[in-house]
Amino acid sequence: MKALLVWPKFDSFTFWNFEKVCDLAGVKYMTPPLGLLTVAALLPKDWELRVVDENVHPLAPGDIPWADIVLVSSKIVHRGRALEVIREAKAAGKRTAVGGPDPSMSPDPYLAAGVDFLCAGEGEILVPRLLEALARGDAKGDLRTRELPEMTDSPVPRFDLIDHRDYLYVGMQYSRGCPYHCEFCNVIDLFQNRYRTKTLEQVLAEFELLYSLGYRGQLDFFDDNLVGNMKRAKPFLEGIAKWLEEHRYPFQLSTSVTLNVAKDPELLDLLRRARFKYFLVGIETPDEAALARAQKPHNTGFSIAEAADEIYTRAGATIHSGFLLGLDGEARDIRDRVIRCIEEAKIPWVMAGMVYPLPGTQLSKRLDREGRLFPNARYELPQGVRDQISAGLQFKPERPALDVLDDLVAVMKHSFDAEKYFRRCSAVALRLNTIPNMVPSWRIFFRNLRTVVRLSWLMTGGDDTRRPYWRELLRVVFGNPRGVEAFVTLAVLFAHFRTMVPYAYEQLAKQRKTIETLGEEAWLEQNLREPADAPASGPRPPTEAPAPTRLPLASPLAG
């Protein structure tokens, strides 16, 4: 059997696609499709497999004719192209199967496109069922499950099927799920609040495969919360730290953690030993009343600035953080509080957005019960909107809508002001107690050197970036050379964000103008009205959700 596995082209114009970072680093795309490579590992060993990541290479004319079956994985950002691939394969008389987050949440568009096998759920359960259906000679199959496999059943992904030189970094996974109950997050709903992990031996087997394939550089654990079980995480971190030391540190790591990790000095020390350099941390808001309403109490009861400083100085890692505006219970002066938090905690990379009622989340369900959810938010993003940052308000907020929109824009403009951004970058880099590893291979060294030259040329050419970039970079070079890697990484990310924020401002301004024109009461009445095509039996199931909040933790200097 010949199987073609397709990862469709990602929309290039979105906050979640770091094309500018890839251009500066001289690679084709951020990271290979981990889910699709895991599916490949679940297929029979005697099958011929061909993986096509359209973000790296377009689907060639001979790919679909070559295959006996075409397997497509899709997120919402891939939907349009995924449907095209399915239709093309069907027109060529090929069997097709689709899986991934979007088909699992929104099967109807894929069924309408004529896909033969819809796989909604996790691959470790569904791939064996797909194989059974094929063995029986089934022409079609609606394969959906809420059953969750143990992570010990997950195979080593087929990293050998891609060329790692095409990518900025490689992703892997230790855990699925999160033990917390944040109201706005869909992780607990997707994974039924079960936190599952692989064994140390499984992860080290993935390390060994990548090492044997010649990969050197950054590995990002795609986990929603790597330390969801802190007790279990400690021996795991001990084990990978030992492996890295024995292999002379070919990789540096990144992942997502919760801010309360700062309260455990032993855990911070282990994260440093294991060479974790970048953390995505959901701070959300400095307003403890709003955090309590959002069911995120684990971010309360301690100083955010002190916690961030512990991570910088003890774990030796930088923080990339998300902030949410529009939360119930937030104070009227939330704009000033968020900006003060960003400056006190010295957080360079800030992703501020409007809280979005993702379909299926506790937040979405509660707002619907209260009559505050815009019905269209159950179904799809507003036309032309590509992410939840530019989506604006999709529900009736407790505060005046114009105030919430203005607060978000003000926080974003503060966060991405060049002077302020680079000043925070140097403040972190000067405090960073990291362990540099700039030359895991000569290929990476020369890639890093080329990236720095390209970045410096770009920053020198900008009237608003020239002075702050060079001033703060030199401050780090002479004040704490080990922080230069982090400073350059953050500067490259700034190059990406400055290309995206004008689009976000434009979208938010459109919503603001509509509210001003109609008046807030009329605007809310219009948006809270059920659409004419809503089914009589109740709301339609969700068919679209914005791009996920899990950001790629990209380091262009992945040494």
Q: Would you say residue 33 has pLDDT above 80?
A: yes
Domains and CATH numbers, the chain: 2-151 (3.40.50.2300)
d(CA 531, CA 527): 9
Mean pLDDT for 203-224 is 95
Q: For 507-543, what is each residue's pLDDT tens digit?
A: 899 999 999 999 999 999 999 998 766 544 344 433 3
Long-range own/partner contacts, residues 86-91 (CB < 8 A, 24 or more apart): 86/110, 86/113, 86/114, 86/115, 87/113, 87/114, 88/64, 89/64, 90/114, 90/115, 90/116
Q: For 274-313, what is each residue's pLDDT tens digit?
A: 999 999 998 999 999 999 999 998 888 999 999 999 999 9
Running DSSP on this structure, what letter comes out for residue 294?
A: T
Mean pLDDT for 265-280 is 95
Q: What pLDDT does 439 receive? A: 56
CB-CB contact of 122 with 144 (8 Å): no
Q: What pLDDT does 554 receive? A: 52
Q: Would you say residue 559 has pLDDT above 80?
A: no
Q: For 410-424, what is each residue's pLDDT tens digit?
A: 999 999 999 999 999
Residues 6+ apart with CB under 8 A from 119: 97, 98, 99, 103, 104, 126, 127, 130, 143, 144
Phi, psi of 534 (to 5 degrees): -65, 135
Q: For 154-166, what is each residue's pLDDT tens digit?
A: 999 999 999 999 9
Q: For 370-392, what is each residue's pLDDT tens digit?
A: 999 999 777 555 554 556 677 88
d(CA 387, CA 352): 12
pTM: 0.89
Q: Which of these, 435, 417, 555, lies nearest to 493 by C-alpha position?
A: 555
Mean pLDDT for 309-321 is 95
Q: For 81-107, what is each residue's pLDDT tens digit?
A: 999 999 999 999 999 999 998 888 788
Which helix or strand (DSSP H or E) is residue 447 part of?
Answer: helix 442-460
Tell me the pLDDT band of 12, cut-offs 50, 70 and 90: low
Q: What is the mean pLDDT of the chain?
A: 89
Q: What pLDDT does 436 receive? A: 74
Q: Would you say residue 442 has pLDDT above 80?
A: no
